Amino acid sequence: MDAFLSNLSLGLATAAQPFNLLMCFVGALLGTFVGVLPGIGPLATMAILLPITFYLPPDSALIMLAGIYYGAQYGGSTTAILARLPGETSSIVSTLDGYQMAMKGRAGPALAVAALASFFAGTVATLIVALFAPALAKVALYFTDYDYFSLMVLGLVGAVVMARGSVVKAIAMIFVGILLGSVGTDVNTGIGRHTLGFPELLDGINFVPIAIGLFGLADLMANLEKPREQAKLKSTGLRALWPDRNDFRKGGPAAVRGTLVGSALGILPGGGAVLASFASYAVERRISSHPEKFGTGVVEGLAGPEAANNAGAQTSFIPMLTLGLPSNAVMALMIGAMMLQGITPGPQVMTERPALVWGMIVSMWIGNLMLVVINLPLIGLWVQLVRVRYEYLFVMIIVFCCIGAFGINNSVFDVFVAVAFGVFGYVLIKLDCEPAPLALGLILGPMMEENLRRGMQLSDGDPSVFFTRPLSLTFLLVAAALLLAVAAPAIRRERKEVFNEAD
Amino acid sequence: MSADSNKQAISAAMPGPDRMRRRLLLSSLALGAAFAFGSTKAFAAFPEKPVRIVVPLAAGGPTDVLARLIAEAMTPILGQQVIVENRTGASGQIAVDYVSRADADGYTILMATLGTVILPQTNAGFDAATLDKLQPISKIEGRAVYLTAAASLPANNIAELIAYAKANPGKVKYAAQGASDILGIGQLNKLAGTDIPVVRYQGGAPALQAVVADQVQLTIATPGAAAPFVTSGQLKIIAVTSPQRLPDLPDVPAIAEAVPGYEFISWTGLAAPAGTPKEAIDRIAAALKEALAAPAMIDRLKQFGTTPSPDGPEAFTAFFQAEIKRWAEVAKAVGFTPQ
Amino acid sequence: MEATIKGKQDFLSGLLFIAIALAFIVNGRGLPLGTAVNMGPGYIPLGAALILAVLGTVCLVRGLVHAGAGVEPVSWRPFLLVPLAVVAFGISLDWLGLVAAIFLAVFVGRAAIPRAPLLPTLALAVGLSALSVALFYYGFKLPVSVWPRFL
């Protein structure tokens, strides 16, 4: 405990320097804005700023870059809630109940719930990082390919729980996602799969243009056919900017659960953080007394995932800080920034440069506080924006979709990908097939395949390891139980209906 | 004046912008006519606008960081902003295709790597002639890498590793980061008569992590990436991939000591589209040389485990061609087919 | 035929899933399958496609025998013009520059609503262009030209 306190005070001494406070603020603010803009993600922004960090002291540079990352997690939910435009993987879940809240005229409370849940999660996760980082680093190394595979299976089963409508359709959508995820270079052999001859597809279909098309453009097309829907969006008055008591009562516990789920998944270096918001949504829906209302704008469906998402973002710093191993592209860039500063990343950073590490950890909490202060007043502004008549708003959304799709990889090809998925997404809306399970299959499919195939190679073809490794076995058992719990009633119901029909 | 007409002739002969031109014609015929004038510009004093270095790898990786360090140092020397732009994808093919098609004016240059010259071996969809549409400018640096092993591996140096791998087939597996090091380990297997299977990872970090976590036994690592884990005792250095031992590590054998003829050098350099005026090429090469001579830069590169070795357009062109040939032969010898 | 399809939505979803599965199966013919121990690049996609085909068949059959939701009619104007606006942007961006691409996207997109007045659309195009140039060209340094390349 003494060590913990001295570390914390050392960190505070670093993070509270006026210049570092300024850099933290700059990072958080920038992050908020790039989070709001689809396509321009934290990664691109950090890459642009990388040369500038050159002229900053190492601690200020990393504090600012970290601010951009978690700031973007805050900002990312804004467009997801207001325009059903997830700028990043993590904000897809916010297009479910968050967007529905906005459609019902509760954009203000939705944004406030997102900001507050994120802040709570950020606070707790920072504490977790500070208290347990060195110990948790070992957990990260303990995870093998087998465990990751089984965790991904559990994640996909979670997608079935998320689905609002038909279970069969939801499972089918997961497989559509897995198939789309298989596009690109096969990791094991380097063979291009389903690329139709486009070199742009050798690295797979970019996620952002898919999300822009599937969620953003498709919804736009569907909205434009319903004049009444526009009226609804317009009526998003200033009626209520602040969440009501019910929001707090229901959303509070959800945020606590989301924080726990997100913190745990963020630690995994194999990219567990992407699962955080999905997992939290599945948990909330599973334990809810009214699961059928999910997807219509229930506050737990927003507060939980938002908290999970931000918690995962914070704890994903653990493998990077303690081992020098990046768990995602953003962390790889942080490592690049360290190298630019002349710091060799690795386990020794914690002992050799404690002021840097702890300064960064403390700055995360300060940054989260700043983000709430930045974001809460902005809500008024965002809500004003949604009040712009839809006949103008939708054109703005189209333009931002275009630039966003282009910006993710500076490639016009991605703009056309967005169009294709826009049309596909519109068809899915007409057929009442939900895009969220597809998105999850798309994200998890390639990771699952990679871990499965590598696991089989490492075990020399013995599949029993998946059942003998305790972690892996646990995940598989939970997945099986969950699947049974969801599928059994649905199958029974459908059977009954079919038989009734037959009678 | 002659440089101008030359340049026009070359750009007219290049098939590159065809597709784009067609697209343009589709959108407007009048604009298409105007385009023909678009790329002619007097070549007064290079550079008169920002220069872009196109990096084929993701932002934040070692190659990207290196490019940014150089861009930063070249900016005051050239008197124009040098910008780093990441165009990732298809093992670097996207960036190479892009630069080979860019205007040959010296304002768009490629951060070429070992991965660039092996594209004909790794990507079936890659037209090998594309490499001829590049004009190498100068090497930046070249470095040996470490062959590292998990601490639990009984073998401690290259000779022991080969003996152990032969005696225990399948017990030693190699965590591969990409196509180039698969060729590297393939060459080792071929020359040493071992059969070390390859397990592929997506990049250096996960491969290294798998070895640190003791899930796979071998991988290559840059000195910078390996050092902390060697210090912590989770990794050991089996050998270096240069033909001779490194001055910094006199006790670590070179692979070539046990496997004569083995060499694996990872390098970076700059290349422009073919047909770029000589003035521009020479100016960039000179600026790079000056940037790399600064003591601060030498220190920075040391941290990456490498030393600057700028060589100039002629030498680098010869090296570039030799590398293309060498890796084609290695790929053929180890039976690595483009996919 | 129409009369026998009781749940058009399920039926068409099933068809869509089967079509996607078939497309991946046909397109992936040449991919080596490998073995369960050493799976080739074609193994997982083929497996996923087969499962999808089965699920699609379940949907299809359900649509045939079991009354369900119908499909709302497609409103052609937004269905054609919204994608067209994005396509126009994509085609023009490289050669006509950011401003012209945004103008095209705004005008084509705006036509998705019938009888859109000209003046506010023009103002919107100007405003969005200015904002985008400031934000994306100067701010985020996207590698695009602002004006047509031949100017």
pLDDT digits (tens, 9 = 90+) for C83-93: 999 999 999 99
Check if C54 contacts A (Cβ < 8 Å): no
Check if C107 contacts A (Cβ < 8 Å): no
Residue range B63-75: mean pLDDT, rounded = 90
- Which of B240, B258, B276 is where one domain is finished? B258
pLDDT digits (tens, 9 = 90+) for C57-69: 999 998 888 877 7
Which structural domain, as residue segments, surrounds residue C30?
A: 2-65
Q: Are B95 and B110 in contact (CB under 8 A)?
A: yes
**Domain-located, residue B13:** no
Q: Are A314 and A70 in contact (CB under 8 A)?
A: yes
Q: Please state the separation of Cα A337 from the chain's center in Å.
A: 23
pLDDT, position A39: 66
- Binding partners of B (≥3 Cβ pairs within 8 A): A, C
Are A179 and C85 a contacting pair at CB < 8 A? no
Q: Are B83 and B90 in contact (CB under 8 A)?
A: no
SS3 B52: strand
When pLDDT is cut at 50, 70 and 90, the band that residue C72 belongs to is: confident
Across chain A, which distance is largest between two alpha carbons, in Å? 78
**Domain-located, residue C147:** no
pLDDT digits (tens, 9 = 90+) for B89-103: 777 888 898 899 888
pLDDT, position A234: 46
**Domain-located, residue C127:** yes
- Binding partners of A (≥3 Cβ pairs within 8 A): B, C
Same domain, C19 and C53: yes
From the list B274, B257, B256, the residue with the least C-alpha distance to B265 is: B256
Q: Which residues contact A70 (CB under 8 A, 6 or more apart)?
A: A28, A31, A122, A310, A313, A314, A364, A367, A368, A371
pLDDT, position A141: 75
- Residue A491, both tokens: 């199958």
**Domain-located, residue B242:** yes
pLDDT, position B238: 93
pLDDT at B9 over 80: no
**Beta bridge partner(s), residue B109:** B53
Same domain, B317 and B276: yes
Q: How many domains does the structure of chain C reveal?
A: 2
Residue C71's H or E segment, with its range, is none
pLDDT at B305 over 50: yes
Q: Which residues of B touch C143 (CB under 8 A)?
A: 52, 85
Mean per-residue pLDDT of chain A: 83
Give CA separation, A242 vs A298, A306, A379, in Å: 15, 17, 9
pLDDT digits (tens, 9 = 90+) for A401-411: 898 888 877 88
When pLDDT is cut at 50, 70 and 90, the band that residue A119 belongs to is: very high
Q: Which residues contact B82 (CB under 8 A, 6 or more apart)?
A: B50, B51, B52, B53, B70, B71, B72, B74, B75
Q: Are A435 and A163 in contact (CB under 8 A)?
A: no
Strand-pair category, B307-308 with B51-55: unpaired
When pLDDT is cut at 50, 70 and 90, the band that residue B25 belongs to is: very low
Same domain, B227 and B312: no
d(CA A80, CA B96): 36
Task: Give the burial string for A235-260 (b: 16+ CB within 10 Å, else e).
Answer: ebeeebbebeeebbebbbebbbbbbb
User: What CATH number does the domain containing B116 carry?
Assistant: 3.40.190.150
> Looking at residue A316, what DSSP letter applies?
T
> Looking at residue A411, what DSSP letter applies?
-
d(CA A443, CA A487): 23
pLDDT at C1 over 70: no
Are A340 and B200 a contacting pair at CB < 8 A? no
From the list B279, B269, B271, B270, the residue with the least C-alpha distance to B47 is: B279
Q: Which residues contact C9 (CB under 8 A, 6 or more apart)?
A: A431, A432, C63, C68, C69, C70, C71
Minimum CA–CA partner of A390 in chain C: C113
- Which of C36, C65, C94 is where one domain is finished? C65
Minimum CA–CA partner of C38 in chain B: B199
pLDDT, position B131: 92
pLDDT, position A1: 61
- Residue B336, both tokens: 């690595």
Q: Considering chain A, what percentage of its residues have pLDDT values greater than 70?
A: 91
Same domain, C94 and C133: yes
Check if C117 contacts A (Cβ < 8 Å): no
> Looking at residue A235, what DSSP letter applies?
T
Closest approach of B269 to chain A, Cα-based (Å): 19
Least confident of A76-90, A92-106, A164-178, B193-207: A76-90
When pLDDT is cut at 50, 70 and 90, the band that residue B5 belongs to is: very low
pLDDT at A177 over 90: yes
Q: How many domains does the structure of chain B reveal?
A: 2
Same domain, B96 and B155: no
Q: Which residues of A touch C49 (CB under 8 A)?
A: 175, 179
Check if B52 contacts C (Cβ < 8 Å): yes
Closest approach of C141 to chain B, Cα-based (Å): 10
Are C39 and A453 a contacting pair at CB < 8 A? yes
Q: Which residues contact A377 (CB under 8 A, 6 or more apart)?
A: none
Minimum CA–CA partner of A178 in chain C: C48
Q: Dihedral (C-alpha) B283, B285, B287, B293: value to the nearest 10 degrees?
A: -150
Q: Are A300 and A250 in contact (CB under 8 A)?
A: yes
Count CA atoms within 13 Å of residue A120 on its CB side.
24
Least confident of A11-20, A453-462, B59-68, B330-339: B330-339
When pLDDT is cut at 50, 70 and 90, the band that residue A493 belongs to is: low
d(CA A432, CA A455): 37
Whether the complex's predicted ipTM surpasses the cut of 0.90: yes
Q: Which residues of B touch A145 (CB under 8 A)?
A: 215
Are B60 and A348 a contacting pair at CB < 8 A? no
Same domain, B136 and B229: no
pLDDT, position A323: 77
Residue range A24-38: mean pLDDT, rounded = 86
pLDDT, position B27: 39
Same domain, B151 and B250: yes
d(CA A234, CA A105): 8
pLDDT, position A167: 84
How would you write A259-312 as a 3-class SS string?
HHHHHHHHCCCCCHHHHHHHHHHHHHHHHCCCHHHCCCCCCHHHHHHHHHHHHH
pLDDT, position C106: 93
Q: Are A395 and C106 in contact (CB under 8 A)?
A: yes
Angle at A457 (CA atoms; ends A454, A458), nearest 5 degrees: 85
> Looking at residue A214, what DSSP letter applies?
I
pLDDT, position A490: 65
Q: Dihedral (C-alpha) B185, B186, B191, B193: value to the nearest 10 degrees?
A: 100
From the list A275, A39, A250, the residue with the least C-alpha distance to A150 is: A275
Check if C122 contacts A (Cβ < 8 Å): no
Residue range A303-328: mean pLDDT, rounded = 85
Minimum CA–CA partner of B339 in chain C: C31
**Domain-located, residue C20:** yes
When pLDDT is cut at 50, 70 and 90, the band that residue A271 belongs to is: low
**Domain-located, residue C17:** yes
Same domain, B99 and B156: no
**Domain-located, residue C144:** no
Give CA separation, A364 vs A118, A315, A494, in Å: 12, 11, 49
Q: Are C27 and C86 in contact (CB under 8 A)?
A: no
Closest approach of B301 to chain A, Cα-based (Å): 10
Same domain, B137 and B274: yes
d(CA B107, CA B53): 8
Q: Are B114 and B266 in contact (CB under 8 A)?
A: yes
Count of helices and strands (H, E) across chain B: 15, 11
Q: Which residues of B touch C95 (CB under 8 A)?
A: 20, 23-24, 27, 31, 35
pLDDT at A389 over 60: yes
Rounded to the nearest 10 degrees, the angle between the axes of helix A145-162 and helix A435-458 is 160
Which structural domain, as residue segments, surrounds residue B122?
A: 43-143+267-334
Q: Which residues contact A5 (CB under 8 A, 6 or more apart)?
A: none
Neighbours of A60 (CB within 10 A): 23
Least confident of A211-220, B9-18, B219-228: B9-18
pLDDT, position A340: 78
Same domain, B185 and B220: yes
From the list A441, A179, A167, A156, the residue with the least C-alpha distance to C49 is: A179
Give CA separation, B130 vs B98, B125, B126, B331, in Å: 10, 11, 8, 19
10 Å CB burial of residue C117 (0-12, 13-18, 19+) is exposed
Q: Please state the separation of Cα A482 from the chain's center in Å.
A: 22
d(CA A117, CA A154): 25
Give the DSSP per-residue string, B65-108.
HHHHHHHHHHHHHHTS-EEEEE---GGGHHHHHHHHHS-SSSSE
Same domain, C7 and C50: yes
**Domain-located, residue C145:** no
Check if B35 contacts C (Cβ < 8 Å): yes
Same domain, B187 and B114: no
**Domain-located, residue C149:** no
Same domain, C81 and C128: yes
Check if C106 contacts A (Cβ < 8 Å): yes
- Which of B258, B286, B314 is where one domain is finished? B258
Are B60 and A334 a contacting pair at CB < 8 A? yes
- Which of B215, B232, B258 is where one domain is finished? B258
When pLDDT is cut at 50, 70 and 90, the band that residue A500 belongs to is: low
Same domain, B217 and B206: yes
Q: Are A331 and A338 in contact (CB under 8 A)?
A: no
Least confident of A39-48, A204-213, A258-267, B28-37: B28-37
Q: Which residues of C touch A461 (CB under 8 A)?
A: 35-38
pLDDT at A465 over 70: yes
User: What CATH number does the domain containing B208 carry?
Assistant: 3.40.190.10
Q: Which residues of B touch C91 (CB under 8 A)?
A: 23, 26-27
